Amino acid sequence: MSQDTNPYHIAIKQLEMAAEKIGLDPNITELLKHPKRVLIVSVPVKMDDGKVKVFTGYRVQHNPWRGAYKGGIRYHPKVDLDEVKALAMWMTWKAAVMDIPYGGAKGGVVCNPKEMSQGELERMTRRYTTMILDEIGPYKDVPAPDVYTNPQVMAWIMDTYSTIKGYAVPEIVTGKPVSIGGSLGRLGATGRGVAICAREACSKLGMSIKDARVAVQGYGNVGYHAAVIAAEMGARLIAASDSKGGVYNPSGIDPVKLREHKQQTGSVLGYPGAEEITNEELLTLDCDILMPCALESVLTEKNAAEVKAKIVSEGANGPTTPQADKIIYEKGILLIPDILANAGGVTVSYFEWVQNLHREQWTEEEVNQKLERKMVKAFNDVYQLAKKENVDMRTAAMILAVQRVAEAFKGLFP
Ligand code: GLU
């Protein structure tokens, strides 16, 4: 039987596991399985050739008990409703693990931004924003970047929203360009968190991140920053991949030069001095730290037994299936789950929102220090709980998150 890799089914399974462990009221578990609101819009866009194309867009709001909805917007041809529902639920847990005052949401538009012009992307973004406008707001639902969206897309969202409101509302989105209220340090924040978690995991295992061999699957914004920051900590990048394939050099790859190569050629492939490998080979490579930073369900029961890394730090959302989790845990690999490892992004999004509401700008150093403190605290909270309960880090992170969300509900209901 082929395994179920539907992300929403996986998210529900993870919730059920945590709920069972803490003996959560089944009525609350039932509530948490369902997003509070799902908005589906048909977004008409005049393409450069004069024809109108209609794109499907989603905004899913999972749970508001701990604060305003928060979560990114993804542009990808494979976006579908169940994926966005899962991503929204994971945002609820992520904000709770980091103890920041948000609930979870996520958006997506089914499109291939690689085949669209800047003009087409701008028109699609502005129209999508207009169509979800009533459901978003600085105290209601605050979008941010995700796969294949970036600060420019956030600028268009902010501008569209502000134009309709009649005044500048920078706090409507996070991950904006710094020139219009974006936070210093936001662009690298998700990758920084992934690297910090890997470093903390190293120290728990009695090894140093210095000279640790790192393999990064997905060399986009998250993967690139994770690699650079891990390298600053002394680690050695030995492999990286993108949707076209990967490169491997056991004596080390310069993460900055690799990105320059990718920017010039469109892929990491062909990087001088490196051997070509597939994405599949990268995941099971002999390395110390594996960072899956691309899409969901890449570590499955088919390849989990072959993973050779000692640490897995999840830059992507949902890269590991529950079956793979079990195998990885039994192998003694320390896996830091997405809702902790990649939570640096939403944490600095929160800092950005706070700065915007106060019309302040913090220095990059201040942002990075605050992020460092939050990540280390959350990592240790989860690690200690995992030891205490004798469970893997994902279950521990889920227990912590679900408990916090349920606790908030007690204060609100009846
Ligand atoms: N899309 C990112 C995530 O999955 C960031 C969300 C945010 O900053 O609100 O965590």
pLDDT, tens only, 338-381: 999 999 999 999 999 999 999 999 999 999 999 999 999 999 99
Spatial distance between the Cα atoms of 66 and 41, rounded to a whole number of angstroms: 27
C-alpha distances in angstroms, 392 versus 10, 290, 328, 329? 16, 17, 9, 6
Q: Does residue 3 surpass a pLDDT of 80?
A: no
Residue 189 pLDDT > 70: yes
Extract long-range pairs of 253-261: CB within 8 Å, 24+ residues apart.
255/224, 255/227, 255/228, 255/231, 256/228, 258/219, 258/227, 259/219, 259/224
Kindly give the distance from the C-alpha atom of residue 286 to the centroid of ligand 1, in angstroms, as a whole number. Answer: 30
Task: Please give the average per-residue pLDDT across 96-111, as a whole number.
Answer: 98
Find the mean pLDDT for residues 37-46: 98
Q: Which residue carries 């134009």 as its tokens?
A: 163
Mean pLDDT, range 263-278, rounded to an integer: 98
Q: Cα separations (Å) of 6 from 106, 134, 195, 294?
A: 16, 29, 28, 16
Report whether residue 70 contacts ligand 1, using a CB cutoff of 6 Å. yes
User: Is 51 part of the annotated catalytic residue set?
Assistant: no
Report whether residue 345 contacts ligand 1, using a CB cutoff of 6 Å: yes
With a cut of 50, say whether residue 179 has pLDDT above it.
yes
Ligand 1 contacts CB of residue 143 (under 6 A): no
Distance from residue 316's CA to the centre of ligand 1 (Å)? 10
**pLDDT score recorded for residue 1:** 46
pLDDT cut 90: percent of the chain above it: 98
Task: State the amino acid at position 384 in one-letter form.
Answer: Q
Exposed / middle / buried, residue 186 (Cβ in 10 Å: 0-12, 13-18, 19+) = buried
Among residues 106, 176, 262, 374, the one annotated as catalytic is 106
Strands 245-248 and 236-242: antiparallel
- Quick check: 38 pLDDT over 70? yes
349 lines ligand 1 (CB under 6 A): yes
pTM listed for this prediction: 0.97
**Average pLDDT in the 19-48 region?**
97
- Taking 3-state DSSP, the helix, strand and coil percentages for the chain, each rounded to the nearest 5, stand at 50, 20, 30
Average pLDDT taken over every residue of the chain = 97
Q: Is the pLDDT of residue 414 over 80?
A: no
Q: Which of 66, 346, 350, 371 to mutate to test the pocket of ligand 1 (most atoms within 8 A of CB)?
A: 346
Residue 146 Cα to ligand 1 middle (Å): 6
Structural contact between residues 382 and 340, judged by C-beta atoms closer than 8 angstroms: yes
Ligand 1 atom closest to Cα of residue 146: 1
Give the mean pLDDT of 265-288: 98
Helix and strand numbers (H, E) in the chain are 14, 12
Closest-lying ligand 1 atom to the alpha carbon of residue 317: 4
What is residue 411's predicted lDDT score, i.e. its pLDDT? 84
Query: Is residue 346 within 6 Å of ligand 1 at its C-beta?
Result: yes
Check residue 2 and give its pLDDT: 60
Instruction: Work out the pLDDT band at 413, boundaries 50, 70, 90.
Output: confident
Burial of 381 (0-12, 13-18, 19+ CB in 10 A): middle
The kind and range of the H/E element at 58 are: strand 52-63
How far does the centroid of ligand 1 lie from the alpha carbon of residue 201, in Å? Answer: 22
State how far the Cα of 272 lies from the Cα of 261, in Å rounded to an integer. 9
Start-to-end Cα distance in the chain: 44
- Delineate the domains of the chain, giving CATH numbers in brackets: 36-171 (3.40.50.10860), 189-341 (3.40.50.720)
Tokens 């896996």 belong to 335
389 secondary structure, DSSP code: H
The SS3 call for residue 123 is helix
Instruction: Look at residue 304 and tell me whether its pLDDT is greater than 80.
Output: yes
Q: How does residue 251 score in pLDDT terms, banded at 50, 70 and 90?
A: very high
Beta-bridged to residue 45, according to DSSP, are 53
pLDDT at 367: 98
The CA-atom distances, in angstroms, between 51 and each of 48, 124, 316 are: 7, 13, 35
**Mean pLDDT of the 52-56 span:** 98
